[in-house]
Amino acid sequence: MTNSQKMQQVGKVHSLLKKAGLEDLVDIRVEVLSNQYDKVTPHIVARYTETKSKVDPNGNSFLYVDEVTEKIEELNNLFSGDIFAMDITQRADWLKATTADRVLYLDRPGFHHPAGYKAITKTPKYKKRPNRLKYDKYPNGYQGKIDFYIGQMAQAMGTSKYDYYSKKAEYFTGRQDEWLLTKNC
């Protein structure tokens, strides 16, 4: 990978972090560091502050501390700016959250990874439907359904569907009688 290709990858990381709104929260630099073979090569370094849980000295509970986290990767042929930035942007809500919100998230029982944190958004208020009574569903009661099923019965005379439609008509006739009683008709 040439130096210009390396800088293109670094630029890609910058643009992806800017798109996620993290340009002020994550510091990206290129530093010359030793790799695993003790060869001095350029590395991309991302630094950001996040809340971590530590065990208190007595071992009784957890302490929550804001610490600087470093993500370092060698700029070589295997480096991908997309993957490097994705590791940081997947926890964008976590990095944008306040320390108090992070502590509340970590205090919940169970395992909590920063990538699983979702910012609490205000839910839109929906208009509540007016409370309709069960019998006011149809303006003329169930007469329309009764007429429909009686018509279907007439067409299905002598077929297997006749019993089905007659049961439906009987059911809605009973419902219509209830409706008429509530309307004092």
Residue 133's pLDDT is: 55
Residue 155's pLDDT is: 92
Those residues with Cβ within 8 angstroms of residue 114's Cβ, 6 or more apart along the chain or in another chain: 50, 91, 94
Residue 136's pLDDT is: 56
pTM for this entry: 0.60
Residue 139's pLDDT is: 67
Residue 59's pLDDT is: 78
- Provide the residue range defining the domain that includes 154: 134-182
Do residue 109 and residue 171 come from a single domain? no
Do residue 112 and residue 33 come from a single domain? yes
In a domain, 129, yes or no: no
Do 27 and 4 meet the contact criterion of CB atoms below 8 Å apart? no
In the block, which residue shows the tokens 């804001």? Answer: 66
Q: Into how many domains does the chain fold?
A: 2
Do residue 73 and residue 147 come from a single domain? no
In a domain, 126, yes or no: no
Do residue 59 and residue 19 come from a single domain? yes
In a domain, 128, yes or no: no
Do residue 94 and residue 32 come from a single domain? yes
In a domain, 149, yes or no: yes
In the block, which residue shows the tokens 């009784």? Answer: 60
Do residue 105 and residue 140 come from a single domain? no
In a domain, 124, yes or no: no
d(CA 32, CA 163): 85
Is residue 41 classed as helix, strand or coil in its secondary structure?
strand
pLDDT along the chain (185 residues), means of 10: 88 93 93 93 94 83 88 92 93 90 85 82 66 59 87 90 92 86 73
Q: Tokens for 119, please give them.
A: 């910012």
pLDDT, tens digit (0-9, with 9 covering 90-100), for 81-98? 999 999 999 999 999 998
Residue 185's pLDDT is: 60
In a domain, 178, yes or no: yes
Do residue 90 and residue 174 come from a single domain? no
Do 71 and 87 meet the contact criterion of CB atoms below 8 Å apart? yes
Do residue 80 and residue 109 come from a single domain? yes
d(CA 96, CA 91): 9
Do residue 27 and residue 81 come from a single domain? yes
Do residue 31 and residue 102 come from a single domain? yes
Residue 60's pLDDT is: 78
